[in-house]
Amino acid sequence: MNQDKPHVLVIDGMALLFRSFFATAMSGNYFKNDKGIPTNAVQGFARHVLAAQNIMQPTHMAICWDKGMNTFRNELFDGYKANRPKPAVELVPQFDMAQELSEHLGWKNFGLVGMEADDTIASITHKWQDDARFTIVSGDKDLLQLLHSSTEIAFTKKGFTIYDMYTEDRFQQEYGISPLLFPDVKAFMGDSSDGYAGVKGIGPKTALQLIQTYGSVENVVESLHLLKTGQRTKIETDLDMLHLSKQLATIRRDVPIDAELDHLQLQNIESDKYDFLYDQGYTILARQLQSTK
């Protein structure tokens, strides 16, 4: 990656917010403010962003969010994410609080109704792929398809500081395919957490072998006559779900990003921001920021 280009940290806000919520909610620790509203997810999210900034040393940053419960994928398939439990009542108010806090600290929020945070992340890295280098911070393996010579992914692993770093080279060594073909693999194996089945009876290993051999879902379908009878029957039985699963697994790159690259430039967080933090009950975060001044 060209070290001279701007380095943009692209944060999956949803992933860090959920992760931060569960890290303390398990022990019943919600860090409620004086209005009785939980702040555990918001403060954990912001502390995670600050830690990532400290490690990655970016020049620019974007925070990406889901907007609303339903997206175009729900229009395509009723069952998409239908098996996921609703967010805990203690988490619900913290979605808007986190975005308000980001704005207050000078971090630029992105998100569009009907699109997932993943689609916004992809659209940002695609828009400026020739002008910047990117580090995406997330826990979502679906994002592997975005790996590129200009884009790496830091998958959250433990605490605020331990990451599993993926580059395009590492992906190609491990999977033997281009990252762009990752949705084709997922189309065969499905994704139980997102609620789509792929092809029943084809697991991750076979799915990958098929794409390594034939290069895409469409090429496999054209080559059905070359497959063993058992595999061919499974694919023919679930052909519609196979094509639908690929659509659901493919991250969009066409979300309009209404910003110039320099709008994402990071500024120092001035001490006059701290009063707001204390007012909102973000005491742990305020103290952390003051201690690093």
Q: pLDDT tens, 52-89?
A: 999 999 999 999 999 877 889 989 988 888 888 888 99
Quote the pLDDT of residue 272. 84
Which of 76-85, 221-230, 261-270, 273-282 shows the lowest per-residue confidence on average (mean pLDDT)?
76-85
For the domain made up of 178-249, give the CATH fold: DNA polymerase; domain 1 (1.10.150)
Joined tokens for residue 191 = 């994704």
What are the backbone dihedrals phi and psi of residue 117, each rounded to the nearest 5 degrees, phi first? -55, -35
Identify the helix (H) or strand (E) that includes residue 259: none
pTM: 0.95
Going from N- to C-terminal start, the domains of the chain cover: 7-173+260-291, 178-249
153/168 Cα distance (integer angstroms): 9
pLDDT of residue 86: 86
Q: What is the CATH number of domain 7-173+260-291?
A: 3.40.50.1010
Could you check whether 7-173+260-291 and 178-249 share the same CATH topology? no
**Which of 101, 51, 94 is closest to 288 using CA atoms?**
51
What beta strand segments (E) does 99-169 contain?
108-110, 133-138, 151-158, 162-166
Structure token digits, residue 290: 């003051």
Triad 136, 140, 144: Cα angle to 5°:
65
